[in-house]
Amino acid sequence: MKKTINAGIGKRSFVIDEDAYARLDTFLNHFRSRVNVADKKEVMEDLEERIAELFSAETSDGRTVVDLALVNKVIAEIGMPDGTDEFASSNAASSASASAEPKAAKKLFRNPDDKVLGGVCSGLAAYFDTDTVLIRVLFVALLICGTAGFWAYLIFWIVTPVAKTATDRCTMRGLAPTMENLAKFTNSSK
């Protein structure tokens, strides 16, 4: 029989077995020591939120306790902030290939980092991997030809959510929300 611990991760509560908790705690401490940004607290909060998302996705199938295998899987998916796989290899965890950048499914968001009015054109450009200027010119041309550009922009502005978090910014660009990618957008998420 193993001991279990109730742990709060990313503002959610999980039941974690003792071995998995020790491994996760070691990972978080090691990760904290490797983060090289000014706002470590925000990066660590984003990390905990991402871990909570992954745990929730895996425990939704009826699993009630987070075990060591799940913690190792999450650690391998997240990686270290500098892109190395040092923690996983030094602790004999299974890890994903570091050479291939994992892709995530894209989602449409308004981009608050590059906005003129509401960030709609910039969000569409990030979603379709095109230049923002091209999308803006298209909307202006539609506006000149009639009011279709105005109405389309207005509808996108109302329907499309703003990319508030670093995870949203990664998803908007089709990047996997690993800590290396989240660190790129952490400073701009204020």
Reported as a pLDDT band with limits 50, 70 and 90, residue 62 is low
Quote the CA–CA distance of 85 and 137 in Å, as a whole number. 43
Which comes out higher in pLDDT, residue 60 or 155? 155
- What's the pLDDT tens digit per position in 127-185? 888 888 888 888 888 888 877 778 888 888 898 888 888 888 888 888 877 777 777 77
C-alpha of 83 from chain center: 15
Angle formed by the axes of helices 18-34 and 40-59, to 10°? 150
Reported as a pLDDT band with limits 50, 70 and 90, residue 94 is very low
Beta strands per DSSP E along 51-186: 65-66
Residue 162: DSSP 8-state: B
Is the pTM higher than 0.85? The answer reads no
Quote the CA–CA distance of 73 and 89 in Å, as a whole number. 13
pLDDT at 96: 39
- What's the pLDDT tens digit per position in 2-50? 788 888 887 888 888 888 888 888 888 887 777 766 667 777 888 888 8
Residue 116 near residue 136 (C-beta atoms within 8 A): yes
- CB under 8 A, 24+ apart: contacts of 114-123: 117/153, 117/157, 118/153, 118/157, 119/162, 120/153, 120/156, 120/157, 120/160, 121/153, 123/156, 123/160, 123/163, 123/172
pLDDT at 31: 79
